Amino acid sequence: MKDVILISLPKAKDNAIKFVEFTHSKGHTGWVKCHRQPSDYDEIVYLGNCSQDGDMFAAYSRRFISIYKGHLNSGKY
């Protein structure tokens, strides 16, 4: 189990472990429904909460960086 790298720490809602969820990924035509999971990546960085799109993430693998929106939950993935 890995922890998300937090740039700004949000207030904890509770102590339960609920994993990070990706709901949409940024594509060439805008936001599309996401089929990848946070565990598919080497590193996840929490970018903060956007008032329009919610929790935002940068997901890093050895070959590329992807941008996602979803739910931070406990910050574990």
Nearest to 56 by CA among 36, 37, 70: 70
Q: What percent of the chain has pLDDT over 90?
A: 64
Q: Where are the chain's structural domains?
A: 1-9+23-64
Using 50, 70 and 90 to split pLDDT, how confident is the model at 13? Answer: low
Q: How far apart are alpha carbons 15 and 58 in whole angstroms?
A: 24
Q: Per-residue pLDDT tens for 37-74?
A: 999 999 999 999 999 999 999 999 999 999 999 999 98
Torsion of CA 10, 66, 1, 50, to 10 degrees: 10
- Which value, to the nearest 10 degrees, does the dihedral of the CA atoms of residues 71, 18, 63, 55 take? 20
